[in-house]
Amino acid sequence: MFLTKEEEKLLERGDGVSKCMEILVALGEIFGAERLIPIKHAHISGVSYQNIGDEGLEWLKNLNVNFAVKTTINPAGMDLERWSEMGIDESFAKKQIELLNVFKEMGAELTLTCTPYYIQKPSIGEHLAWAESSAVIYANSVLGARTNRESGISALASAVIGKTPYYGLHIKENRAPNILVKVECDCDPAILGYKMGSEIEGIPIFKFNRMLSDDELKALGASLASTGNIAMFHVVEQTPEWNHFDIPREKVSVDKADLKFECNPDLIALGCPHMSKSEILDVYRIVEKMGGKVKTEFWVFTSRYVYDSMKDVVNRLEKRGIKVFKDTCMVVSPATERFECVMTNSGKALTYLPKLRGVTVMYGSLEECVKKAFE
C-alpha cells in the first residue's frame, strides 16, 4: 500500500499512533487497498465493559492517543444514570464509567448509541470508518455514505489517524448490487432481513410493492447484517444509489417470511437498533389505547439524544410502567441475563440475545410487543 511521507513517519514513532497506523496498514494490505483516504467520522463499537474487560481497559489506557476526527461510540453495558434499576452491580458500573472516561479523554463524544446518524446525518458520498453492523448498513444503504464494516479496533485506529484504507465500499464500483430480491408479500422488514441475511451474499437490491419508511429500512438492514455479512443493500425507487448501477440478472422472489419462536416472555424489549423519535411515538400511540399499566417488564432503548428531545412522551410511558433506558441496549447489557424469554421486534436481537445473553427469544411486531405487555 502506498504511504505518504507523513504516514510513514507515523509508523516509525513507536507509540500508540504507530500501533494504530500498523492496524490500518495491515488491514489495507489484506484487502489490497492502494492507499489511505481521509474520513469525516469514526464510530467505535464494543464499548461495554463486559466486552472489553480489564485487559482491554489497560490496553486502551496504555495506548495514550487522541482522536483526530469526530468520534462517536456505541451503547455501553448500562444506562449511566439508572444502572442500579437495571440490576447492574456497583463494581461493573465503576469499571464501565472508568472505561468511558478513557474514551472521553481520547476525544470521543459519549453518544452511546448505535444510531449516530440521528444525531448528525452523514452526507451522500462521505467517507466514514464505522463499526456497528446496523449503523454501517444504514449509512451505506439509506444515507449513501461510504464505510466498510469495521471492527471496534479498526474504527478506533481510523479515529486516531483520521484515515481508512481505500477498498471495499469506499469505491463506487464495489457498491453495485449482485442479486435482485423481488418481495411479493407485505412481509415485516425485520423478519425478511433475518431470513434473507443467511440466504444471500453480497449486495442485494430489493423490489417491494410499497415504499418502506426509514424505520423499516433500518430494521431490514439491522436484520440483514446480523444473520449475514451484508453491509449494504439497495431498494428500487427508494435508496439513493439504486439507479447508479444495472439491475443484476440473478434474482430470487420472496412470497413469505415468518418466524417460529415461541416462549412465555418475562421481558418485552424494543429498541434494537436504538429507537427513533417516530418509533417512540408509535409505542406511545398504542400505549394510549391500552388501559392501565403494563403487566410484564417492558424496556425500551434509545439514545440519550432522542430521550432528551422527547422527555414529555418518555415520562408518560414511564407512568404506564415502561422503562425507557438510554446509553445501553438489551444485547450489550448483562442486565438482560436475569430474564428467561425476551419478546422483541428486532431481527438483530433475535440473533444475538440467545448467543450473548443466554435467553430464549420470541418475535412480535412493535404493536404485538406493546399489546403483549398489557395482557
Return residues touching ligand F3S (CB under 6 A). Answer: 74-75, 114, 134, 222, 272-274, 301, 329, 331-332, 348, 352
Residue 108 half-sphere exposure toward CB, CA atoms < 13 A: 29
Nearest distance, CB of residue 276 and ligand F3S, angstroms? 12
Q: Where are the alpha helices (DSSP H) in 255-365?
A: 277-289, 304-309, 311-319, 347-352
**What CA–CA distance (Å, rounded) separates 36 from 39?**
9
Residue 36 or residue 156: which is nearer to ligand F3S going by CB? 156
CA 140 to each of CA 121, 134, 221, 362: distance values in angstroms, whole numbers, following the listed order = 12, 10, 10, 29
Helical residues (DSSP H) of 162-270, grouped into ranges? 189-197, 214-227
Q: How far is the CB of 264 from ligand F3S (least distance, A)?
A: 23
Residue 329 Cβ vs ligand F3S, minimum distance, rounded to whole Å = 3
Nearest Cα to Cα of residue 248 among 178, 313, 165, 296? 178
As measured in angstroms, the least distance from the Cβ of 29 to ligand F3S is: 30
- Give 183 or 272: the residue with its C-beta nearer to ligand F3S: 272
What is the closest distance, in whole angstroms, from the C-beta atom of residue 345 to ligand F3S in the complex?
11
Q: What whole-number distance in Å separates Cα of residue 326 and Cα of residue 76?
A: 9
The radius of gyration computed from the CA coordinates of the chain, to the nearest angstrom, equals 21
Q: What's the closest the beta carbon of residue 96 comes to ligand F3S, in angstroms?
A: 15
Q: Which is nearer to ligand F3S, 25 or 47 (CB)?
A: 47
The set of residues, in sequence order, having a beta carbon less than 8 Å from that of 81 and lying 6+ positions away, is none
Nearer to ligand F3S, 134 or 164 (CB): 134
State the first-to-last Cα distance of the chain, in angstroms, to the nearest integer.
60
CB nearer ligand F3S, residue 74 or residue 154: 74
Q: Which is nearer to ligand F3S, 65 or 361 (by Cβ)?
A: 361
- Cβ-in-10-Å burial (0-12, 13-18, 19+) of 186 comes to exposed
- The nearer residue to ligand F3S, 63 or 356, going by C-beta atoms, is 356
Calpha distance 242→329 (Å, rounded): 32
Report, in Å, the least distance between residue 219 CB and ligand F3S. Answer: 10
